Amino acid sequence: MNDRGQGIDVAGLQKDYRVHRRTSGLASTLRSVFRRTYETVTAVRDLSFHIEPGERVGFLGPNGAGKTTTLKTLSGLLHPTAGRVSVAGHEPRLREHRFLKRITLVMGQKQQLLWDLPPVDTFSQNRAIYDIARPAFDATLKELDDLLGIGAIAEKPTRQLSLGERMKCELAAALLHRPDVLFLDEPTIGLDVSMQLAVRDFIRAYNERTGATTLLTSHYMDDVAALCPRVIVIDKGRLRYDGSLSKLVEKIRPDKSIVLRYAHRPDRAALERLGTVTECEEAKAVVRVARPDLREAVAHLLLDPALSDLTIEDPPLEEVLRDLFAQSATEST
Amino acid sequence: MKAALSAYPTLLRIGFAAAVAYRTEMLVWMLTMTMPFVSLALWSAVSATAPVGRFDQKSFVAYFLATIVVRQLSGSWVVWEIIQEIKSGTLSSRLLKPIHPLIAYSADNLAATPLRVLFALPLALIGLASGGAVLPHEPRTIAAFLLSLFGAWVITFFVMVIVGSLSFFMESSMSVFDIWLALFMLLSGYLVPLELFPSWVRSLAEALPFRYTLGFPVEVLIGMSDDAAIVRGLAIQFAYGIGAAIVALALWRAGVRRFGAFGG
């Protein structure tokens, strides 16, 4: 049965950890030999969302928000303390082989490639473990090679590959079995800009070709902006936002930035009548203007003959999220 | 299980490639298992004037070289791998694969056997040349030795899994392994042939599993056991092997459940 149509369902997910607590100092160390103090930390609480098959969704939140815990729960590594999780019609915590053959989890900071062997050996190993028929394996490998440009690097020992080369091979190894669901946890971490772009293009192309459901976490907001029409934002384990990226930006920062370039120093006082001036230098100014007032402001600015260039930008996603998390911190106090 | 069996030859091939890649590390590792040479020097000196029990100098040479050979061929180091992977969290990537991790670990272990044979073979030849060893030449004795060698590996492998799995429940189970190793040194025949011990120690050693991980196959190899002792030894050995496998699987399953509940 093909359950691709069932997507990902999370209802009331809660995940608690029991953590050993000890203050510093010798006395505390000795006390902990005989009596240990534990406390329960809730990493994820009452989290619910649904992801349609084939969707690309960004999963955002500050460090410690519960993103990796959620991804590990969705991939079956962690068991929910409470709530219900279903991925492509399977209950992940049972880790049935049929389920494991349909998902992949790529963690940018952990690797599955065999360190001292060339990636081709990991590919062969995965072919055997996932029981992939030779023709299907060859076809998928060729397709991944076309998309990622792996070529001869797969024949060099993994330890001799650059970080970018290694990530290409990690992605290939993780996708050889053509999973229906991709969990990507910081897949571009540590990569240079050109390699980030290559990985980003690959993820989009793979999703479009195969229709695989993709849930991505990344601290690089450009990844999310480029790949994910929808974002789920969590903070302190709770859902803060679930919807389109553009609406999130509109909701949190109901203004746009107008970047202006002049032949001479701009008139700050005149600009302040239009909006909030965030930058005013020798020949450049940036004014933040409320969206409803944008048209009028631009029309007014264009009347200035000294203006040489004008661009309208959304605020950076980093700023939007910072404001969102600041709001949630205020609400929780 | 059928899928795991069809994957096994590939796992062995990759495991062998890894063993070759780590050949220097493995050689050093194998050299750490040469403690019986020290015992050999000691007991050779002791038996220079008169035999000790059934052992003259040549028999000691045969015994301790056979000890090294059997230890090389039946050893398992999976305990280090399991403990390290649980502590570092890299176990996660194994748990995401549709194959039981213990099957993958066993392939990694067995794949190194050809390299270990390369190391053990010269020692076996020296033992043979020394004239002290009566190597088995009857097919049934050879079969019994190979069975006992496999039985020794099964016990060792699953005991290492048991000790490694304890790391799911405690900070690190290396100290438990140290206790096992100390008892192994004493009661397996690794440093002293068991028949040189007082009878009560010998009886204890025959009842405990340590002898069946080393001393028993050694005795079969150098012709120190009669048919009845071999059959009895194999029966006890395989009972221990099956018992260790059952406990290891149960502990592993409980450990992975805990890993899932508490995040390792």
pLDDT level of residue B262 (50, 70, 90 thresholds): low
Question: Under 8 Å CB-to-CB from A134, ≥6 apart: which residues?
Answer: A127
Which is it for strands A56-60 and A213-217: parallel, antiparallel or unpaired? parallel
- Please tell me the predicted confidence (pLDDT) of residue A5: 53
Contact B14 A104 (CB under 8 A): no
Distance CA(A73)–CA(A67), nearest Å, equals 10
Distance CA(B76)–CA(B244), nearest Å, equals 14
Nearest CA among A142, A121, A117 for reference residue A209: A142
Order the strands of the A56-60 sheet from edge to edge. Answer: A103-107, A181-185, A213-217, A56-60, A230-235, A238-244
Tokens encoding B140:
């049934």
Cβ atoms of A186 and A59 closer than 8 Å: no
Q: Taking a contact as any Cβ pair under 8 Å apart, which residues of chain A between 170 and 209 contact chain B?
A: none
Residue A51, H or E segment: strand A37-51
Contacts of A125 in chain B (CB under 8 A): 10-11, 14
CA distance to partner chain B, nearest, from residue A204 (Å): 23
Identify any residues that bridge with A39 across adjacent strands, giving them in sequence order: A19
Q: In this complex, how many residue pairs, one in chain A and one in chain B, have their CB atoms less than 8 Å apart? A: 78
DSSP A228-297: -SEEEEEETTEEEEEEEHHHHHHHH--EEEEEEEESS---HHHHHTTSEEEEE-SSEEEEEEEGGGHHHH
pLDDT in tens, B137-176: 788 888 999 999 999 999 999 999 999 999 998 877 888 9
Which site among B93, B105, B258 would you substitute to test the A interface, given the most A Cβ atoms closer than 10 Å to its Cβ? B93
Contacts of B84 in chain A (CB under 8 A): none
For A125, the closest of B10, B262, B263 (CB atoms) is: B10
Contact A125 B14 (CB under 8 A): yes
Contact A79 B89 (CB under 8 A): no
Q: How far is CA A14 from CA A79, A83, A86, A185, in A?
A: 10, 6, 14, 20
Distance CA(A14)–CA(B7), nearest Å, equals 37
Count of CA atoms in the C-beta half-sphere (13 A) of B156: 27
For A121, the closest of B6, B14, B104 (CB atoms) is: B14
Nearest CA among A234, A179, A241 for reference residue A69: A234
For A100, the closest of B14, B98, B259 (CB atoms) is: B98
- Please tell me the predicted confidence (pLDDT) of residue A292: 87
pLDDT tens across the length of chain A (333 residues): 444 457 999 999 999 988 777 777 777 777 766 777 778 889 999 999 999 999 999 999 888 889 989 999 999 999 999 999 999 999 999 999 999 999 999 988 778 898 889 999 999 999 999 999 999 999 999 988 888 888 888 899 999 998 888 888 998 999 999 999 999 988 888 778 888 888 888 899 889 988 999 999 987 888 888 899 999 999 989 999 999 988 888 888 888 889 999 888 888 898 999 999 988 888 899 999 988 889 999 999 998 888 899 999 887 788 888 888 887 666 655
- Please tell me the predicted confidence (pLDDT) of residue B144: 94
CA distance to partner chain B, nearest, from residue A121 (Å): 7
Q: Is the dihedral of CA A219, A225, A231, A233 positive or negative?
A: positive
Which residues does B contribute to its contact with A (CB < 8 Å)?
Answer: 3, 6-7, 9-11, 13-14, 17-18, 21-22, 89-90, 92-93, 95-99, 104, 257, 259-263
Distance CA(A140)–CA(A56), nearest Å, equals 21
For B260, the closest of A77, A111, A117 (CB atoms) is: A77
User: For all residues of chain B together, what is the average pLDDT?
Assistant: 87
Which residue on chain A is closest to B88 by alpha carbon?
A110
Please check the confidence at residue B183 and state whether its pLDDT lies above 50.
Answer: yes
Contact B22 A105 (CB under 8 A): no
Contact B263 A69 (CB under 8 A): yes
CATH topology of domain A255-313: Alpha-Beta Plaits (3.30.70)
CA distance to partner chain A, nearest, from residue B96 (Å): 6
| Residue A219 burial (10 A CB sphere; 0-12, 13-18, 19+) | middle
Which residue on chain B is closest to A183 by alpha carbon?
B96
Q: How many CB atoms lie within 10 A of CB B39?
A: 17
Distance CA(B136)–CA(B217), nearest Å, equals 12
3-state helix, strand, coil in chain A (%, to 5): 40, 30, 30
- Please name the amino acid found at residue A213: T
Order the strands of the A82-87 sheet from edge to edge. Answer: A37-51, A8-21, A82-87
The DSSP call for residue B52 is B
Which is it for strands A82-87 and A213-217: parallel, antiparallel or unpaired? unpaired
- Please tell me the predicted confidence (pLDDT) of residue B264: 47
Distance CA(A284)–CA(A277), nearest Å, equals 11
Average pLDDT of B254-258? 90
Q: How many CB atoms lie within 10 A of CB B13?
A: 16
Contact A116 B21 (CB under 8 A): yes
Residue-range domain boundaries for chain A? 4-12+48-249, 255-313
Tokens encoding A184:
């990507």
SS3 B179: helix
Residue that is written with structure tokens 């079956």 in the block: A76
Contact A18 B96 (CB under 8 A): no
Q: Taking a contact as any Cβ pair under 8 Å apart, which residues of chain A between 129 and 148 contact chain B?
A: 129-131
Count of CA atoms in the C-beta half-sphere (13 A) of A143: 15
Q: Is B197 left (phi over 0), alpha (psi -120 to 50) or beta?
A: beta
Distance CA(A8)–CA(A6), nearest Å, equals 7
Cβ atoms of A319 and A253 closer than 8 Å: yes
Which residue on chain B is closest to A40 by alpha carbon?
B262
Cβ atoms of A69 and A234 closer than 8 Å: no
Q: Is A51 left (phi over 0), alpha (psi -120 to 50) or beta?
A: beta
Cβ atoms of B15 and B9 closer than 8 Å: no
Contact B18 A95 (CB under 8 A): no
Q: Is the dihedral of CA A302, A307, A308, A310 positive or negative?
A: negative
Average pLDDT of B89-97? 90
Which is it for strands A181-185 and A103-107: parallel, antiparallel or unpaired? parallel
The DSSP call for residue A155 is G
Distance CA(A307)–CA(A325), nearest Å, equals 37
Tokens encoding B18:
């890894």
Residue A172, H or E segment: helix A163-175
Q: How far is CA A163 from CA A158, A167, A182, A296, in A?
A: 10, 6, 21, 49
Contacts of B22 in chain A (CB under 8 A): 116
Q: How many CB atoms lie within 10 A of CB A326?
A: 11
Contacts of B89 in chain A (CB under 8 A): 110
User: Which range of residues forms the domain containing residue B238?
Assistant: 2-262
pTM over 0.90: no
- Domain A4-12+48-249, CATH: 3.40.50.300
Residue A215, H or E segment: strand A213-217
The number of domains in chain B is 1
ipTM of the complex: 0.83
